[in-house]
Every structure is written in structure tokens, then in C-alpha cells.
A and B are shown apart, each in its own frame.
Chain A
Amino acid sequence: MKIPKKYKIILYGLLGLFSLYFLLPFVWVILAALKTEAEVFSFPPKIFPDVPQWKNFVDAWNSQPFGTYLKNSVIVTVMTTLGQLISCSLVAYGFARYDFKYKNILFVILLATMMIPWDVTMIPLYMEFNMLGWINTLKPLVVPAFFGSAYYIFLLRQFLMSVPKDLENAARIDGANEFQIFFKIFLPIMKAPLILIAVLNILSVWNDYLGPLIYLQDQSKYTLALGLAAFKGIHDLQILPIMSITLVMIIPPVVIFLFAQKYIVEGISGSIK
């Protein structure tokens, strides 16, 4: 279908307008991070810095234990991703490739858990982790991931349902046991959906603010998101370091997204069918 030229101009105009809304705020933050104190507070605002102040990043990074925050964020992100990949693939496989008693009701329960507002379980969970002595550690953020997450299980299960059944039957006849079939045959073909849930998990954990806010108390335990929010809360007017750390914080998700875009675009759609 060819689009007439008249429409093309309107369409590009609209695309451009929306791009301003989605892109300019990023640009404005980058520009702010590179300005001097005088430039950033000047009025009328100065669009470009005279000399880009790259040292802003170094100063900001050293002003707080951001290195520690980064380390904590990386630990939580890597560990939860590992946990989700292991547990969700096992559980999804169980739901997709076997028939067993109570399967349907269990699966409906799994789907229903996605509707529970998080503040309903927030208080007992806090008490539970408190009883275990886990408050002010990274454990409450990490351990639940090893028990799977309904949405990711659902995504993987949808994928596994589409794989022909002959696959495991042939292997069974060859004498493979159930776990061998899972590891040797199914895990390799689950690459695309596993990358999808790894990316989704990395994004959500790296960006999470409420979890760390509730469970972490000492600065030495903060994640980057919590550390940045706390820093902003205290030093509201130190725009330069706030903007530079904000940039540092959004670079990893943006880079990961750019690389994994294909998996997200293709994967998200399959989920609701």
C-alpha cells in the first residue's frame, strides 16, 4: 500500500511531534549533566554548555558511595535473573508439557496471582523477612526470584505449548529421563523466550525503587535506584551530580534494550494471545 505524499507529511509531522515528547527530556538531562553550575541555573536557560563538563560525572560518582550502590544493584540484578531463568523454565515446562491432576486449577491460580495488588502482601512479607533476619540485606530482593514469577512463567509456557509433542516422546523411547529431556532438548530451543524474560527481569529489578526502599536501611546496602533517590532527597539543589548519576543509571537499561529490542517486540505480543 502506497501512502500519498500529502499524508506522508502529516504522518512524519506527528511522528516528529511525539518524538519531541519522548526524546527531548533525555536530551535535556544530558545537556544539564554537562553544564557548569552557573549555566544550569541561568535564566533564560542556556541550551548548550560552553565547554562540556565531563568531570561532573567523576565528581558526582565520588561524592557518594555510588560504587557500592552499583555493586549491590549488579548483585541483585544478576542473582534474580539467574533465579528467574532456572525456576520459571522448570515451572513453565511442567505446566506446558505434562498432564497432571489439578493442573488447570493451579494454572488459573498462577494467573490470578498477577492481579493481587502488591500492597496487600507488603506488610506480612516485611514481617516474614524481618522474622528471618533478612531486613537490611539483599535477600528479600533476591530470594523470591528463585521461586519464579507468574508473568514470566506464563510467557515461557505459551512458547512451550507451541512445540510439537513428538519431541520428548522420541527422546523417551531412546531412554532419556524427564530431566535430561528438559535440559538437553528443551532448554536449547527456549533461547529466545529465555532472553526475553532475562531482559524483562533485568529492566524491572535494576529500576526497582519500592523493594529496596522497604527492605534496605543502611547506605552500604542501597541499590543505585535507592541511592540516587536518597541523594536527591537530601541534596535537592545539586542538579549537576543528580543529572549525571541519573544518566549513569539509565544507560545500562537503554543499551540492553537497544540490543534486545527484537526479543521484546516479538515476545510481548505473544503473551496475550
Chain B
Amino acid sequence: MLSKSRKANGYQLVNKKVPYLFILPWIIGFLVFTLGPLIFSLIMSFFDWPITSSPTFVGIENYKTMFTNDPQFYKSLEITLKFAAVFVPLNLVIALILALLITQPLKGIKMFRTIFYLPAVVSGVAISIIWGWIFNSEYGILNYILSLIGIEGPQWLVDPKWAILTIVIASAWGVGTMMLIFYTDIKGIPQELYEAAAIDGAGLFRQFFSITIPCITPTILFNVITSVIAALQQLALVLLLTGGGPLKSTYFYGLYVYNNAFKHHELGYASANAWLMFIVILILTMVIFKSSSTWVFYENEVKRKGKKKK
């Protein structure tokens, strides 16, 4: 398109190198900080690469060990997948509910939008400290409140049964970004659609499922993919809140890779771990994308003008 208009204007770019000069910073960065390391880690995954002595080529041994001789691999993978299976739908539903709430024409609604987004700007370090203090089983306010209504709260961060739930609750606190993405999308749905539906006698629920949801399916797809990727890589909160414990009940895959690399100094093995997760993420993303043709509707199907009402 650009070239066409340029010809129409009788304009020819004198120096063909100019565009490449503009994108040069990214090309260098991509080679040095992304592609180079990516290839190198793939190579490393076929080596026994201890930090102290020289590496030896071992073929697919690392991958074999992972699947046949490392129970922790399966456990960490299982914990992480379980976490994602709870975290992703939960976050989506909360974000969607919040977005629907803050699109209502109510007084003071902007203030609520601010409140809901606020935790999303806070560091994982702060989040872990804040929630660690709330979940504290001795002095924590949560168990005190529970005790007021006659429930004896669990030892949240000490009991392997409950620790993973604390991570789910603490990480759902940062749902604001996803909420905002839904919010702007819902605001862009033309009001006429709802008015027409209302005249046809469709109630609020019917309107929600027949208009709102179909209109925002591309955004749902985007949010599903980004949150699946984020959930599978969860590390900071785990390191800070539970350190993988108690009894390795929150020993997430990200932590497993991190420790294999920087604690046990098995650089080759850790690279193989990381590549496996990379492949899992690629496959999952592809599956989600493939499935999307059955449930995602794009703009040319539902005509939208992004008309804003207030």
C-alpha cells in the first residue's frame, strides 16, 4: 500500500538503506539478545554443561532423563498445569465481570476502575509481602476474620493443600490489565445493537450472551493466550511467597528450571527443561488458535464502528 501511494506521488526513496537504518537497533538487539541466546540454549540442551568443568555432548540424554529419571519434572509440570487450569479461567471470568461492572453508566464508576487496576502497577515483591502478611496463619487478618464467622482458617502458607491457592489469590490481584483490555472492547460495541435487542424483548442475560460475548471473542482469544503463557511461566510470586514449599507443593516449573540452572548449576539440563516448556507453549498456543476459528468472530462479520457512548 505504501509503495503504491509513493508511486502515485511520483516519489522514490533515494536511499534504499534508510528503512533498515531505522530498524537497525531492533535487528541488532534481536540477534544479540534473542536469536543468539535462543539457538545457543538449544545447543546447550544437548550437552552436559556443569558450571565448573567443560561441557560434553550427550545427545538427547537430557530430554531422556527428564522423562524417565526425574520425578520432580513431572511434579512441577503437573503443579504448573493445574495452576494454569485454575488461574486462566478464574482470571478471565473476574476480568470480564469487572469490565462489565465498570462499563455501567453509574456515578463514580471511574473511581472503581482506578481501584480495580491499582494492584496491577505494584511489584511482585510488594504483592508477595502484602498477601504473605494477610495469609499469615498466626497474625494474619484473614484467619481472624474467618474466626469471627466461626471458621478455623487453614495454615495458608504452611499447609501444602492450601499454599497453591494463596498463589492463585495473590496473582489474581493483578487482573487489572486484562480487565482494561475487555473494558475498552466492550465500550466499543455499538449501543444500537443493545437497543435493537431490547426492542426485540431480549433481557440482560440474553443481551450479554448474544451481543457482548460474540463481539469480544477476539479479545477473549488474546487474553486466553497471554494469560496461559503468563501462568506457565509464573516464577516471581512463587519465589517470593512460598519459595516452592511447603513440601514442594508450589514447586512450579519456572522455579524448577531456575533452580536447575542457578542452584544446581546444571546449565545443559536446565536448557532442555526450558526448551520443553517452550514447545509446550507453542503447541498450546497453536491448539488455542486452531480452535478459535469455531468460536471467534471478527469485525467484518459483526459490523462495528467503535462508536463510543460517553
Contact = CB atoms under 8 A, between A and B. Distances in A.
Interface of A: 1, 3, 8, 11-12, 14-15, 18-19, 21-23, 25-26, 28-29, 32, 40-41, 43-45, 86-87, 90-91, 93-95, 97-100, 103, 106, 109-110, 113, 115-128, 144, 146-148, 153, 165, 169, 172, 178, 182, 203, 206-210, 213-214, 225-226, 228-229, 232, 239, 242-243, 246, 249-250, 253-254, 256-258, 261, 264-266, 268-269, 272
A48 to B, nearest CB: 13
B32 A25 contact: no
Interface in B225-282: 229, 232-233, 235-236, 239-240, 254, 257-258, 261-262, 267, 270-271, 273-275, 277-278, 281-282
A40 B130 CA distance: 14
25 contacts: A18-B116, A19-B116, A26-B130, A29-B129, A32-B133, A41-B139, A45-B141, A94-B19, A110-B26, A117-B232, A117-B277, A120-B38, A120-B271, A120-B278, A124-B37, A128-B36, A144-B33, A178-B18, A209-B124, A209-B236, A209-B239, A225-B123, A226-B125, A250-B123, A266-B184
Contact of B121 (A28, A121, A253): A253
Contact of B177 (A1, A14, A268): A268
Contact of B18 (A15, A98, A123): A98
A271 to B, nearest CB: 8
Given A123-B271, A225-B123, A269-B181, A94 B37 contact: no
A180 to B, nearest CB: 12
Contacts of A86: 25
Contacts, number: 264
Given A11-B106, A232-B129, A246-B130, 14 more contacts: A12-B106, A28-B133, A90-B25, A91-B22, A91-B26, A97-B2, A115-B282, A123-B267, A124-B40, A128-B36, A165-B2, A265-B183, A268-B181, A269-B181
Nearest to B13: A98
Contact of B115 (A19, A100, A109, A265): A19
Interface string B1-35: 01101100101010110111111011111101110
Size range of the chain B interface in the assembly = 35 or more
A40 B133 CA distance: 11
A88 B11 CA distance: 26
A203 B121 contact: yes
A229 B240 contact: yes
Interface in B153-192: 173, 177, 180-181, 183-185, 188, 191
A117 B274 contact: yes
A120 B15 CA distance: 38
A182 B21 CA distance: 12
B72 interface: no
B118 A123 contact: no
